[in-house]
Every structure is written in structure tokens, then in C-alpha cells.
């Protein structure tokens, strides 16, 4: 049973395959996690919006440290690599929804401050094209962290490259400007 498919944007799918794909995608609840295989299949087809929550602090020696989490060894994009907590926005979510998920899942604690830093366009990310919205975040009180703190000038060798090269450095500049009196 073939549907009338607009062929102005040519794909390598037949009309029947396209109709079947559209029917199957219509069954996906965008408000729930897609799961890794479906996410990896869809990500290269659309620009994803990711929220990056970069937590920084001053250690007792007044050196800036960043909180990182290590990905599992079976992660399909960055196996075993360290990264700043973050998440792709789901349909219908706002930034507070994403931060609430991160507090529960990646921080296991509350964020006391969320300061917008920058947007980063990353069309060559391993899983597809991502637009990252970078926030400087501070953790409130004692937390049950699942990651670790690292000096920003001595990150683990296996740190996700665009976190090491762009996301963390751009956030450090904002953090230092906000805390300049603490460095004097």
C-alpha cells in the first residue's frame, strides 16, 4: 500500500519503503529516550541540540578544576572517554528539564548556578551534527558524584576532544571573569 510521497527531496528509498519508515517513526514517542541504536540512526539526519553543563571550581591552591564523567567502554561514540555532563534536548523540553535530568543522572546532586557561556556548532561530531549550548554550572553542597574533578590544565588523556579543545576552555574564561577577586 503506497502513500503519495513528495519526491522533491530525493532519497534512495522507494515509495513503499518511505511509507513504511514514516509509519514506524510515527510510533516513536519523542518524549521518551530513543535508545542508542535508534538515536545513532537518526542523529546523522538532523541537527541535534545538546546542553553541556560544565562544572568548575577552585581547589585549595586556587587552581581551576572541571568535573568530568567517564563514558562506558561500550559507548558507541566515545568509549571510555571523559566528558562534561550533558544531554540532547528532547521534544517539548526546556533547559530546566534537561538540567533536572542531569542532576538526577549525571551529577546526583543539585546545580546552584547555571550561566550561559556560548553556543558551539559541531557539524563533525561522531554521531552527527550537534549544536551545543554551553553552560557554566556550580554544584550546590555535598553531592554523591559519579565522576571526578580534574585540573583544567591536566585533563585525562582520554577526554572527548571537542570538550578538551573548545567546551572546557570557553567555560574557564567565563569562570575566571566571574571569580577574578578570588585570584587576587
Residue 17 lies in a domain: no
Query: Rounded mean pLDDT of 126-152?
Result: 86
Q: For residue 42, give the nearest of 82, 86, 88, 7 by alpha carbon.
A: 88
Where residue 137 sits, what CATH number does that domain have?
3.90.79.10
Burial of 129 by CB count in 10 Å (0-12 exposed, 13-18 middle, 19+ buried)? middle
Q: In this predicted structure, what is the pLDDT of residue 10? A: 64
Instruction: Tell me how many domains the chain contains.
Output: 1
Residue 24: pLDDT band by 50, 70, 90 thresholds?
A: very high
Query: Rounded mean pLDDT of 157-169?
Result: 95
Average pLDDT value over all residues in the chain: 86
Q: In this predicted structure, what is the pLDDT of residue 126? A: 80
Q: Rounded CA gap, 97 and 34, in Å?
A: 17
Segment 93-127, tens digit of pLDDT: 999 999 999 988 887 778 888 999 999 998 888 88
State how beta strands 48-58 and 128-139 pair.
parallel
Residue 33 lies in a domain: no
Structural domain for 131, as ranges: 54-183
Query: Rounded mean pLDDT of 88-96?
Result: 90
Residue 98 lies in a domain: yes
Is residue 180 scored above 90 in pLDDT? no
Amino acid at each position: 500500500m503506497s502513500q503519495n510521497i513528495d519526491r522533491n527531496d530525493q532519497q534512495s528509498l522507494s515509495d513503499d519503503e518511505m511509507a513504511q519508515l514514516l509509519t514506524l517513526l510515527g510510533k516513536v514517542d519523542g518524549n521518551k529516550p530513543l535508545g542508542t541504536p535508534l538515536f545513532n540512526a537518526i542523529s546523522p539526519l538532523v541537527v541535534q541540540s545538546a546542553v553541556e553543563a560544565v562544572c568548575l571550581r577552585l581547589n585549595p591552591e586556587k587552581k581551576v578544576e572541571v568535573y568530568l564523567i567517564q563514558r562506558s567502554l561500550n559507548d558507541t561514540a566515545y568509549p571510555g572517554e571523559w566528558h562534561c555532563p550533558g544531554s540532547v534536548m528532547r521534544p517539548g523540553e526546556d533547559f530546566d528539564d534537561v538540567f533536572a535530568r542531569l542532576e538526577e543522572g549525571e551529577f546526583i546532586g543539585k546545580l546552584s548556578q547555571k550561566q550561559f557561556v556560548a553556543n558551539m556548532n559541531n557539524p563533525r561530531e561522531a554521531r552527527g551534527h550537534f549544536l551545543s549550548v554551553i553552560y557554566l554550572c556550580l554544584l550546590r553542597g555535598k553531592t554523591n558524584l559519579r565522576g571526578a574533578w580534574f585540573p583544567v590544565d591536566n585533563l585525562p588523556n582520554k577526554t572527548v576532544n571537542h570538550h578538551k579543545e573548545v567546551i572546557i576552555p570557553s567555560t574557564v574564561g567565563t569562570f575566571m571573569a566571574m571569580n577574578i577577586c578570588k585570584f587576587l
